[in-house]
Amino acid sequence: MIRYATRRLIAAAVQLLIITFVAYVLFFLIADLTGANPAQRVAGKGASPARVRQIAHIMGTDRPWYAQYAHFVSQLVRGNLGYSFQRRQPVSQIVFPAAGVTASLVIGAAVLWLVIAVAVGLVGALRPRSLLDRVLTIGVQTSIAAPVFWVAPMLSYLLAYQPTQGRLLGISLGRRVDWLPIEGYVGPVANPLEWAHHLILPWLALAIGFAALYARFVRAFVLEQLSEEYVKTARAKGASEWRILRKHIGRLVAPSIVTLLGLDVGVALGGALFVEQVFGLPGLGYVGLSSIENLDYPLTVGTITFAALVAVAANAVADLAQAILDPRVRVA
């Protein structure tokens, strides 16, 4: 286990290094080549060349690329993601609170989509080709096809906006109600109830697509396992179906789901981008997008690099968790 963990952590460290390098190449070198000089951006279009040079010196963009990269990484290691000239604030002071919001969104959604996926997948696997299974399969296929940036505004419209107009799903309620907030965020420490209340729709919006993908996986996996010999043996020994699912198949499916989760953190961060925008949550996606709109270059770089680091770290943690759950992984 220790050998495996060491190897996996070294691999993660290499990946982190590569990601910072790619982030650097993307945002500094390519930006330079395409003429989007970061110093010029900070200085503004009308700045004098002397002023641009001065700002380039302050930002360090007049130094050779390897020195810039080394500086970028050494600052990153110290938790310094740069300085937003527009907001006149260190990037980390903006990114860390935003990361909390995004974590609330993604973790909550992950719990939701796991619960839905296991329930839907198990129903399908235990009663394959039944009417219920077919209906669920259609729902799953449709949910996978529906883009999150369409699901989010539709949920907001149908479940949050329409009730305030006295309607629900097109049916008149007779009076105007204000059940779910259309947008906004409340911190979990300040008011846990309001926090959950504000996040119900965002969680749902982010979770639907993933729930469908995972449900398809759980259904296929459990269905395959149910015809295995060990299930027959367990049944012959008198184990209940519930016990077989929980003790035998559950232990096999859990490691795969953990790995999937680790890989999907990065994807979910991408989805969170749209959900945060629609529901006005001040998370990483919201910060990143507004920084792109405002041409706030250091903030864009900082946000995306930070999110990438989180995704790689999550991936490594998931692999380690899988190794704990499944001994075969550590030996191979």
Partner 1 sequence: MSTIAAPLPDEVQLPVARSPAQDFWLRFRHDYVALAAACFIVFVVLAAIAGAPLVAWVTGHPPDRQYVNGLTIDGVPLAPFSHEVGPDGIHQNPHGQFFLLGTDKLGRDIFVRLLYGARISLLVAFAATGAALLIGVVLGMLAGYFGGIGDAVISRAIETAMAFPALLFAVGLAAVIGAGLTNVIAVITLFSWYYPARVVRSAVVSLRNAPFVEAAHMTGASHFRVMFRHLLPQLTAPIIVYATGVIAANILFEAGLSYLGLGVPPPTPSWGQMLSDGVSNGLYRVQPWLALIPGLSLAALMLSFQLLGDGLRDAFATKSAA
Nearest-approach distance from CB 301 to partner 1, in angstroms: 8
Nearest-approach distance from CB 102 to partner 1, in angstroms: 11
| Residue whose CB is less far from partner 1, 225 or 300 | 300
Q: Evaluate whether 211 touches 124 at the Cβ level (below 8 Å).
A: no
- Is the torsion defined by CA of 115, 116, 122, 127 positive or negative? positive
| Residue whose CB is less far from partner 1, 77 or 169 | 169
Give contact residues for partner 1 (rule: CB under 8 A): 11, 14-15, 18-19, 22-23, 26-27, 30-31, 34, 36, 141-142, 144-147, 149-150, 153-154, 157, 161, 263, 265-267, 269-271, 273-274, 278, 288-289, 292, 300-301, 304, 307-308, 311-312, 315
| Residue whose CB is less far from partner 1, 92 or 296 | 296
Which residue in the block uniquely carries the two structure tokens 């209340």? 197
Q: In Å, how far from its chain's centre is CA 264?
A: 7
Nearest-approach distance from CB 315 to partner 1, in angstroms: 5
| Residue whose CB is less far from partner 1, 22 or 115 | 22
| Residue whose CB is less far from partner 1, 27 or 85 | 27
187: left (phi over 0), alpha (psi -120 to 50) or beta: beta
Single-letter amino acid code for the residue at 100: G
Give the bridge partners for 143, in sequence order: none
Nearest-approach distance from CB 64 to partner 1, in angstroms: 20
| Residue whose CB is less far from partner 1, 8 or 245 | 8
| Residue whose CB is less far from partner 1, 192 or 270 | 270
Nearest-approach distance from CB 233 to partner 1, in angstroms: 26
Nearest-approach distance from CB 300 to partner 1, in angstroms: 6
Nearest-approach distance from CB 289 to partner 1, in angstroms: 7
Q: Evaluate whether 206 touches 105 at the Cβ level (below 8 Å).
A: yes
